[in-house]
Amino acid sequence: MKNGEKIRLNKYIAMTGYCSRRKADELIEQGKIKVNEKTVKDFSREVSNQDKVTIFGQHIFVKEKYTYIKYYKPAGYITTKHDEKGRKTIYDILPKEVQNLKPVGRLDKASTGLLILTDDGDLINKMTHPSIKIPKVYRVCVKGKIEQNDLIHWAKGIEIEKGKIAYAQAQVEEFENGNTVLTVILRQGMNRQIRKMADITGHPVISLKRIQHGCISLTGLKKGAFKYISQTQINQLKKYISKIENNNIADFLYLNINS
């Protein structure tokens, strides 16, 4: 954010990583946000980095430099900071130096693979916003032999919950020992989407690993390890997101798929 540049208050809050723009709008409506010590309820309010923005008395601000990592999540951990049920979370095993970063999306407890974590709230918002549809690629092993009709069913859409239609592109990689290995591409972010689609079509998931999110892949990581993402890669990712936002990418060509 350039010095003195003015942007909408909800976008500013999202850029700090405090919460999403939608949640920021809720906080504005509830009168929980102050700008320069004055409560704001105007959704069109613009602020710059010279303004003092506080939420519940906490001063928040857009950082000049952000941190980005890719992490190979192992099975058995949920993707959240705190859990009311006392389940183990990724923050129980992440090193202290990256404990302040937030995940870009989630993986369920049994799933493994790529998680991007950052303190860049604007990037998190763009990569998870349902209108932008940043692709995620998974390597999935399911029970039984998947037929072409099943894949067509997945592509056309399956009602996984009342009123919720899930879509996925999938292709068969191999069939061995009575199970099918698939590459699956999602552009949605529904809870346990692949598992529910697989259950409905009679092929329960045996294992599920995310291998790519946008143009960031799992390549070079061992399970449980993390790696800092270079600024060059982040710049490439942001250009990629911009092209999707502007409909300049007709389809998603995934890279490093055998990682």
Would you place residue 215 in the very low, low, confident or very high pLDDT band (cuts 50, 70, 90)? Answer: very high
* 65 pLDDT higher than 90: no
**For the domain with range 7-60, which CATH number is right: 3.40.50.1470, 3.10.290.10, 3.10.129.10, 3.40.50.2000?**
3.10.290.10
* 53 pLDDT higher than 90: yes
Confidence (pTM): 0.81
Query: Which of 69, 126, 63, 57 is closest to 99 using CA atoms?
Result: 69
Q: Quick one: pLDDT at residue 129? A: 86
Question: Which of 108, 119, 150, 199 is labelled catalytic?
Answer: 108
Partners of residue 175 on adjacent β-strands: 180
Strand 38-39 with 136-143, pairing: unpaired
- Between the alpha carbon of residue 151 and those of residues 43, 182, 222, the distances in Å are 44, 10, 30
Length of the chain: 259
Higher pLDDT, 114 or 259: 114
- For residue range 170-200, what is the model confidence (pLDDT) as tens digits? 999 999 999 999 999 999 989 999 999 999 9
CATH superfamily of 65-259: Pseudouridine synthase (3.30.2350.10)
Distance between CA 159 and CA 19 in Å, rounded? 30
- Domain boundary assignment for the chain: 7-60, 65-259
Would you place residue 249 in the very low, low, confident or very high pLDDT band (cuts 50, 70, 90)? Answer: low
* 125 pLDDT higher than 50: yes
Name the strand (E) or helix (H) holding 46. Answer: strand 46-47
Q: Quick one: pLDDT at residue 1? A: 64
Distance between CA 188 and CA 194 in Å, rounded? 10
Of all residues in the chain, what percent carry a pLDDT higher than 70? 94
Burial of 181-196, coded b for 16+ CB within 10 Å and e otherwise, reads bbbbbbeeebebbbbb
DSSP 104-119: SS---TT-EEEEEEES
- For residue range 137-155, what is the model confidence (pLDDT) as tens digits? 999 999 999 999 999 999 9
Name the strand (E) or helix (H) holding 232. Answer: helix 231-245
Q: Active-site residue 120, yes or no? A: no
Q: Tell whether the torsion through CA atoms of 125, 136, 65 and 96 is positive or negative.
A: positive
Q: Quick one: pLDDT at residue 254? A: 46
Residues 6 or more apart whose Cβ sits within 8 Å of residue 110? 75, 76, 208
